[in-house]
Amino acid sequence: MNHRMHIPAPYVHPIYTDNQIDTPVSTTAPFPVIVRDTRLVAVNDTTSFVPSLGSSNSQNHTDIFGNTNGSRANIGIAVGSTDADIVIPDPWRIRRFVVLCTRTASGTTSVSITCMVVGRLLAPDGTPTPWRNVVNVTDSAFSNTSSIRFALPSSPTGVFGYDQYRIVFRRDPDSTPAPELSLIRVYAEFS
């Protein structure tokens, strides 16, 4: 079912300098609001994986589908021969990713998991620019099985503006057993 909502244009009213503010509010003249558009853009229910071991960020770490090919885009547009795992029409409007997943235990070693988003632009012929670090967040180090929520960034400031994104994970330090990530959900908040 398709629901449509009519959102009137923001009501602009002068503010007087004589200490009297006249700001009527009604259904025909509401205060302006920001409408959030959040969508589930990627799901990995089938492939669990161990995040790459590393103490620094790299686009070659394990992505949301368990791949370590650093040239592969997870979310974005497709131009020419440059594709993405999940194609969406408006990736430049993304202002935040929220990544949810489950991790397994890591024995007696407390292991932190870092999630990083990189972005790139595409030329009209599909030639990609190099990846640029957009944001990364590290979850607290612990050793038990638990769900993790990464808000990337925690406080959005504006749109990212890229054509394609890659979301990768790394772990630090090493442990036996190494924690596995599964049941991954990626939500994108658009402006």
Question: 14: which DSSP letter?
Answer: -
Q: Is residue 42 part of a domain?
A: yes
pLDDT at 35: 60
Q: Is residue 31 part of a domain?
A: no
Backbone angles phi, psi at 144, to 5 degrees: -95, 170
Q: Is residue 24 part of a domain?
A: no
Q: Is residue 182 part of a domain?
A: yes
* Residue 13 pLDDT grade (very low, low, confident, very high; cuts 50, 70, 90): very low
Question: 102: which DSSP letter?
Answer: E
> What CATH number is given to the structural domain containing 69?
2.60.120
Q: Is residue 22 part of a domain?
A: no
* Residue 81 pLDDT grade (very low, low, confident, very high; cuts 50, 70, 90): confident
Q: Is residue 15 part of a domain?
A: no
pLDDT digits (tens, 9 = 90+) for 134-179: 999 999 888 889 999 999 999 888 899 999 999 999 999 999 999 9
Q: Name the residue range of residue 85's domain.
A: 37-190
Q: Is residue 7 part of a domain?
A: no
Handedness of CA 158, 163, 169, 172 (dihedral sign): negative
pLDDT digits (tens, 9 = 90+) for 54-72: 999 999 999 999 999 999 9
pLDDT at 69: 94
pLDDT digits (tens, 9 = 90+) for 94-116: 999 999 999 999 888 899 999 99
Tally of structural domains, the chain = 1
Chain centroid, CA 76 distance in Å: 12
Contact 179, 109 (CB under 8 A): no
Q: Is residue 67 part of a domain?
A: yes
Q: What percentage of the chain carries pLDDT values higher than 70?
A: 81
